Amino acid sequence: MNYPDSVQFLYALGNEIKTAKFGLERIRVVLEALGNPQDRCRFVHVAGTNGKGSTCAMIESGLRAAGRRTGLFTSPHLLEPTERIAIDGRAVDVAAFTGAFNRVHAAAEELLDRRAIDLHPTYFETVTAMGFLIFAEAQTDIVVLEVGLGGRLDATNTVRPALCVITQVDFDHEAYLGRSLEAIAGEKAGILKAGVPAVFSRQRPEVQPVLEGRAAELKIEVAHTREWAVSELELNAHGSRFRLGEELAIHCPLAGEHQVENAVTAAVALLQIGVSGEAIEQGIAQAQWPGRLEKISETPEIVIDGAHNPAGARALAAYLDRFYQHRRVRMIYGAMRDKAVEEVCGILFPRAQQVIATEPQQPRALHAEAIAHLADHPDVRVTGSLTEALGLVRHAGPEDAIFITGSLYLVGEARGLLGAGR
């Protein structure tokens, strides 16, 4: 298949969350048929609820600053599936993506013919296997591997990493991971392995004992970010500067107070795998993570942020309270049906003078009318598309700040429509 055909096939496999098969049996059979490419790579494996993507981006950037040949595996993508697999900070080209897809697909078809697997690998399983092939053949020194969903039964949990990292754990995907923070934490802790050191971000009180208990069972060494002092903290709308411990002067270019903890986690992880302080400082300062408090237009001022769950909404709300209290915030919001939309709306909408409800161009999108029904707000507009929503703010004045938020699919659409992804 060519690239458009491969992408079409992946999408036809169904939504990667709704069609997820929890269990590692099928992905292990597929990887074995491919020669177990994951065994030829060294990994930093990162789980968590919010912050794991940002943390992955900063770890990868620090490794690259140290001269390592890096791989980076993240999800979801914003514009193109190729974004999920990067070598040395650049998304793979369509030829590499298509070649890897064809090999995984051929292996899956052969296994299906022999009834060695029950179904074709899911979207996420397929792309995970593709990533392992690409990373192995690119002869990467180390790959930063983001968990897709949960951890214990996630397709990425077929690796034996050099380091495990667990960022902050919060509520998300409760239907799959459990209704309590303790249950969700147990799934995240499933990436921990005997003999593999770990880094834990600061956690909520319900989460910490679960992670600590699993680490104690496995008798693994854990570095806790809470043991590192943050001082001389300076926050602005574009990022932060602070001193970490006595040696590191960190400049984090990712906006939001919540990124301070992510930067600390990345720095501690980099120290654990032997990266110098100079490379850590340089790498974090150069890190990029699109679609998260990213300003994509100056006139009018437009900021996009994938605040798709309550923890993300709280982070965006704190950012608005700190830096936009005296601006007229016009919020364009769209979400998927399987998210905690009512809770997110309750957190975000009081911070906006106008809410424009819209719909990402996805089958699982929640109708804008349903969002408007949930919104207890004096000025709510309803639009059927992001293009229509942007039309309502086309003549925004200098006092206006436009935030496009909610689903990462909506954020990806905004980057495409407004040229930020080019």
Q: Where are the domains of the chain?
A: 3-285, 294-417
Q: Cα–Cα distance between 387 and 370 in angstroms, integer?
A: 19
Block mean pLDDT (10 aa), the chain, length 422: 94 68 88 98 96 97 98 95 98 98 98 95 96 98 96 96 96 68 95 98 95 98 97 97 96 97 98 98 97 94 94 95 96 92 96 97 92 92 97 93 96 91 50
pLDDT of residue 16: 56
pLDDT of residue 212: 97
Buried-exposed string 42-80: b where 16+ CB fall within 10 A, e elsewhere = bbbbbbbbbbbbbbbbbbbbbbbbbebebbbbbbbbbbe
pLDDT of residue 176: 62
Beta bridge partners of 248: 244
Sequence-distant (≥ 6) Cβ neighbours of residue 241 within 8 angstroms: 232, 233, 234, 249, 250, 251, 252
The CATH class for the domain spanning 3-285 reads: alpha beta
CATH 3.90.190.20 at 294-417, yes or no: yes
Neighbour-count burial of 223, counting CB atoms closer than 10 A to its CB (0-12 exposed, 13-18 middle, 19+ buried): middle
pLDDT of residue 422: 46
Q: Give CA 408 to chain center in angstroms.
A: 10
pLDDT of residue 21: 58
